[in-house]
Each structure stands twice: as C-alpha cells, then as structure tokens.
Amino acid sequence: MTSETQAVPARAIPRETTKARAARERRKLLRGIGRQALLQAVCIFIAITVLFPIVYVLGVALNSDPTNVGLQPKGLDLIPPHPSLDAFGKAIAQPSGNHVSFVTLAFNSFKLAVSTSLVSVGFGVLAAYAFSRLKFRLRSFLMIAVLAVLMLPAVATIAPLFVLLNSVNIGDFNLRNSIPGVALALISGALPFAIWNLKGYLDTIPKDLEEAATIDGCSRNQAFRYVILPLALPALAVTAFLGFVAGWTDFYFSWKFLEYPQDFTLSMALYGMVGAYASTTPWNVLSAFAILVSLPVSVVYLIFQRWIIGGLAIGGVKG
C-alpha cells in the first residue's frame, strides 16, 4: 500500500475527540450540579427542621392575645400579627409560684454550671495527664473503672448519692439539701467524662514536645503548664462547655435533692410552670421563660466557639 491509501483525514479524529470530550464534560457538569442540588436540598431540610421549633417557640412567646395563650399558631403564620414582649416581662417578674425572683434562680443555676465546669475540668485534666503520660500500678483497672462510671445513666446514681449526701450534716446544714450537694452530685458524673475525653486528646499530643521542654530546663510541672495546657485548650473548652450545660440544665438532682425555694434552679421553675392540663399552662410565658433559660448557654457557646469547634474537629484525629 502506498502512503496515499494509508492516509487518514487529519481533521476527522480531532473533531470526533473534541465532541466526545465536550459531551463527557457536559455529563460531568450535570452530575455535579445534580449532586450539589441534592446536597443543598438536604441542608435546607435540616435547617428547616432545626429552626422550626425555635421559631415556633419564639412565636408563642411573642403572642399577646389574652384569648389564645399561643399553644398553636394558625397555619404557617408562626409569628403573631401583633407581637409583644409582655410574656418575657411576666417570666422575669414571677417565674414560679414560690415567689423566688428570676435573678435568684439564675444565680443558683449559674453556681451549679460554673462549679461543675471548673471542678470537672480542673481535676479531669490532672487525672487525664496522669493516665496519658505516667505508668503506675492499676492504671488499666482505674481507666476501666472510669469507663464503667460513664456507662451508668445519671438517673441510676440519684438514690445512692441521695443517701450519701444526706448523711453529711454540719449543725443545721445538710449537704444533700444544698447547692454544694447538688454540685457534688453533678461533678460525680461530669468528672469521669472529663477524664476520658481529655485523656484521649492528650494522647494525640507528641511526647517529643515535653522532652524538648525538659531539655530546655523545664520540670514536668512546667512542661505540663506551658506546653500541654496551651495545646489542649480546644479539648478543655469542649469539656468545660459540656460541664456548664450539664450544670445549667440539671433537673433530676435539683428536683430530688433541694427542698427550700431559695435554692431552686431555673429548670425547676420551668417545670413548675406546667399546669395539670394544657389549658391551664401559660404557654406564652412558658415559652418566653424557656428562651431566657437557653440564652446563657448560647452566649457561652458563642464566646468559646472557636475553641469548641477546634476541639471537636481535632479530637477525632490521631497524631
């Protein structure tokens, strides 16, 4: 065969290849758009699912119609036509039937939240560092014991803690029937979680950093203070935030342990607003009070958001 019979049109192959490539890119673009549209639809559905209860409660709290306590908004009109902040004023002025001020209730909840957060993180990071870096007898057994405590639900510990704390009496002071007693009960559940959570995070911090600090003249305590603690700040923020939420929203221990109204918490007052029947419950005041109770947790989260997100993201990565 001559070279003329073997010749192939020079423009045929590039033209067909270009068309195929364009079709392939078009199909890839359509698949990407479809996948992105599906993802956006899922995200919008999740957002609506999360935001709907919040908007619903806010609409009920803003309802000022005396003939309708706001139990059920009409249709999709979640926000009432004439919103009012009267329910918030009533929730602050008279949050419960025990004539305890909102400030007193909030201060009691704040004491529980802060004490639970600080004590659990303070002792938890020390114990977690010992479990992570030191070798001692019964180390594995103690870690299993900590894990076993975590497996117990909080409700299961009410009876033994009630008996234990009720046996501590100093004059007229009974530890069980006090804010410190409830705080100890909450810490007994928050501390094992803090130890286990912080120990897992400290394991991801290279030991070479402590060895380098030791070579530079730092003692173990100085290395822990100036090297480990700054690096563990995200995990400390997460643990402290969860401890704060546990103390702020506690109901079981407060309801079972406390007897005097001046020691009541916000969760107890919120429960006290619920009437025997739905028609007797001031739903607009209840909703307004629920929003007021949730605001401090939201503020704390916004303040420590950077460290909390960092702790949640980095804590799941080994190394």
Query: For residues 285 and 241, what is the distance between their CA atoms, to the nearest angstrom?
Result: 28
Tens of pLDDT, residues 185-232: 999 999 999 999 899 889 888 888 888 888 888 888 888 888 899 888
73 in a structural domain: no
Crossing angle of helices 283-303 and 86-93, in 10° steps, is 80
pLDDT above 90: percentage of residues in the chain: 31
Q: Return the structure tokens found at 281.
A: 């419950």
pLDDT at 1 over 50: no
Same domain, 269 and 169: yes
Same domain, 283 and 159: yes
252 in a structural domain: yes
pLDDT at 21 over 80: no
Q: Which residue has the higher pLDDT, 4 or 55?
A: 55
Query: For residues 111 and 109, what is the distance between their CA atoms, to the nearest angstrom?
Result: 5
66 in a structural domain: no
Same domain, 112 and 191: yes
CA dihedral in degrees (101, 102, 105, 109; nearest 10)?
-160
Contact 237, 307 (CB under 8 A): yes
Same domain, 129 and 257: yes
Tens of pLDDT, residues 126-146: 999 999 888 888 888 998 988
Of the three residues 61, 78, 109, the one that is the final residue of a domain is 61
Mean per-residue pLDDT, 57-74: 67
74 in a structural domain: no
Query: For residues 160 and 164, what is the distance between their CA atoms, to the nearest angstrom?
Result: 6
167 in a structural domain: yes
304 in a structural domain: yes
Contact 301, 187 (CB under 8 A): no
Same domain, 211 and 308: yes
- Please, how many CA atoms are within 13 Å of residue 156, restricted to the half-sphere of its CB? 7
pLDDT at 248 over 60: yes
Q: How confident is the model at residue 317 (pLDDT cuts 50, 70, 90)?
A: very low
Q: How confident is the model at residue 68 (pLDDT cuts 50, 70, 90)?
A: low
Same domain, 55 and 105: no
Same domain, 41 and 123: no
92 in a structural domain: no
The CATH code of the domain that includes 111 is 1.10.3720.10
Same domain, 174 and 310: yes
The DSSP letter of residue 138 is T
247 in a structural domain: yes
Query: For residues 200 and 318, what is the distance between their CA atoms, to the nearest angstrom?
Result: 9
Same domain, 180 and 126: yes
Give CA 58 to chain center in angstroms. Answer: 21
Same domain, 267 and 209: yes
Q: Return the structure tokens found at 118.
A: 């600080």
Burial status of residue 67 (CB atoms within 10 A of its CB: 0-12, 13-18, 19 or more)? exposed
Same domain, 172 and 228: yes
Same domain, 171 and 293: yes
What pTM was computed for the model?
0.79
pLDDT at 174 over 60: yes
> What is the extent of the structural domain holding 20?
3-61
Q: Return the structure tokens found at 106.
A: 């909030």
Q: What's the number of domains the chain is made of? A: 2
